[in-house]
């Protein structure tokens, strides 16, 4: 596993430097679309103490198969599929080749469980801090990218009509005020995934209220029946979100729908796995991710376990199995506060698309002994510890045990 390589280089990295893991995969853009091949591996030392892992690749999917996929019709189960096209396109010019940087983070619950009475819950912080507070520790990264995408876990609504929940054990209904959507725009977050198990905690009304609040704040969204495309500097990127338990036919239909929209790069977001701090991806997580990549997605990001899981390089694509929590109001003091910003950088050179991912270590809180709902970047030994964890977990992506033990 490529991410293991940087472990040997840790001793050479200076304490106090923010450490970032870089991994590259190649994507070629042709007249027929995107095709991928398994990359070869080489490593080199990067500047400022960073260690770089590069993957280079030629190409892989047959043009006739892709043309066939582009001609496929969306299945009957997706008759109501809604396409969101941003009215905005980025026409900024640069001296170098066209490049797009995307930042993905995990569970963001802007609010708390409806019955929370703690003075340390999310809303109490909102009452005493400006909306810029919550993403203030990472806004520099978010402001310097082209798009930041969060998993918005919980509705933004005033509705009190909670949906029934069939699952056994403790039940949590998350909710935040509609105005909390402005936390995202103030933090330079442009897009939210809504495909998760808490979006409809307050029913269809709460779901509609959430979409309306995001629109008012200038934040786009995708998930379930909503797909999204954004074109930036000539590179069109497509997003879809589903539960990891979605059937293969639905996943294929989403990928094909984005191909029809002309997406050059397709990124899938899945919500699934065990929500009880499990460090190993389940067979369901793996199946959904592999199905998406086998059918043309280049990157897959997943969430739900509330902790980090490993990264897998599969069939020319990249899978981040769990991005963990991020700005998470669902727990006032999680034991494991490790998280990451998973960046995707896509560069177009001479008609070819080259994809790179970066792992930026972070913590969900600026405080070690409580959750203050203000994620921060990590440096030095703290950053190395998170990267070491991801490397170890990435070596276990074939593990399908219900619970992976991690000290």
Task: Give the torsion sign (CA, 53, 37, 267, 279).
Answer: negative
Share of the chain above pLDDT 70, in %: 73
Residue 65 has pLDDT above 80, yes or no: no
262-298: pLDDT as tens digits = 999 999 999 999 877 789 999 999 999 999 999 999 9
Contacting residues for 168 by C-beta, under 8 A, at least 6 apart: none
Q: Is 68 exposed, middle or buried (0-12, 13-18, 19+ CB in 10 A)?
A: exposed
Angle at 343 between CA 287 and CA 328, to 5 degrees: 80
Q: Which residues contact 170 (CB under 8 A, 6 or more apart)?
A: none
> To which H or E segment does residue 41 belong?
strand 40-45
Percent of the chain residues topping a pLDDT of 90: 62
259-273 burial string, b = 16+ CB within 10 Å, else e?
bbbebbbbbbbbbbb
Using CA atoms, how far residue 175 sits from 124, 179, 405, in Å, is 14, 12, 32
Among 32-41, 124-133, 135-144, 295-304, the range scoring the smallest mean pLDDT is 32-41
pLDDT higher than threshold 80 for residue 111:
yes
pLDDT, position 115:
73
The structural domains of the chain, ordered by start, are 72-350 (3.60.21.10)
**Alpha-carbon dihedral angle through residues 305, 310, 314, 318, given to the nearest 10 degrees:** 80
Kindly state the average pLDDT of the residues 93-109. Answer: 87
Instruction: Give the residues across from 175 on adjacent strands.
Output: 112
Tokens of 302: 């997943």
369-402 confidence digits (pLDDT tens): 999 999 999 999 999 999 999 999 998 765 433 3
CA distances to 326, 396, 403 from 406, rounded to whole Å, are: 20, 11, 9
Band of residue 59 on the pLDDT scale cut at 50, 70, 90: very low
pTM of the model: 0.81
């Amino acid at each position: 596993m490529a991410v293991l390589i940087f472990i040997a280089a840790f001793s050479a990295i200076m304490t106090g430097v923010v450490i970032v893991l870089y991994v590259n995969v190649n994507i070629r853009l042709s007249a027929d679309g995107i095709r991928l091949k398994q990359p070869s591996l080489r490593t080199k030392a990067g500047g400022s103490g960073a260690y770089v892992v590069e993957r280079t690749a030629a190409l892989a999917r047959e043009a006739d198969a892709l043309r066939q996929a582009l001609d496929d019709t969306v299945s009957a189960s997706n008759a109501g599929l809604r396409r969101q096209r941003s009215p905005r396109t980025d026409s900024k010019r640069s001296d170098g080749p066209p490049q797009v940087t995307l930042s993905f983070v995990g569970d963001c619950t802007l609010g708390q469980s409806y019955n929370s009475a703690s003075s340390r819950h999310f809303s109490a912080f909102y009452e005493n801090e400006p909306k810029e507070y919550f993403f203030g520790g990472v806004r520099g990264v978010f402001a310097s990218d082209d798009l930041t995408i969060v998993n918005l876990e919980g509705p933004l609504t005033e509705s009190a009509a909670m949906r029934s929940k069939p699952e056994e054990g403790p039940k949590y209904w998350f909710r935040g005020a509609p105005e909390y959507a402005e936390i995202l725009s103030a933090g330079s977050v442009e897009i939210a995934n809504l495909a998760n198990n808490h979006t409809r905690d307050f029913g269809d009304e709460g779901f509609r209220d959430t979409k309306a609040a995001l629109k008012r704040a200038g934040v786009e969204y995708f998930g379930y029946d909503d797909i999204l495309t954004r074109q930036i500097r000539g590179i069109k990127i497509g997003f879809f979100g589903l539960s990891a338990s979605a059937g293969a036919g639905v996943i294929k239909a989403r990928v094909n729908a984005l191909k029809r929209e002309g997406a050059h790069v397709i990124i899938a977001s899945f919500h699934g796995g065990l929500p009880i701090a499990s460090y190993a991806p389940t067979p369901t997580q793996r199946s959904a991710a592999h199905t998406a990549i086998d059918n043309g997605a280049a990157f897959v990001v997943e969430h739900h376990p509330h902790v980090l899981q490993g990264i897998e390089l599969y069939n020319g694509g990249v899978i981040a199995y769990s991005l963990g929590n991020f700005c998470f109001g669902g727990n006032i003091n999680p034991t494991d506060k490790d998280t990451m910003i998973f960046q995707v950088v896509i560069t177009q050179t001479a008609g070819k698309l080259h994809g790179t991912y970066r792992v930026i270590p972070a913590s969900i809180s600026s405080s070690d002994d409580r959750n203050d709902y203000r994620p921060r970047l990590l440096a030095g030994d703290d950053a190395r510890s998170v990267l070491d964890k991801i490397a170890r977990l990435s070596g276990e992506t074939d593990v399908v045990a219900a619970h992976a033990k991690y000290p």
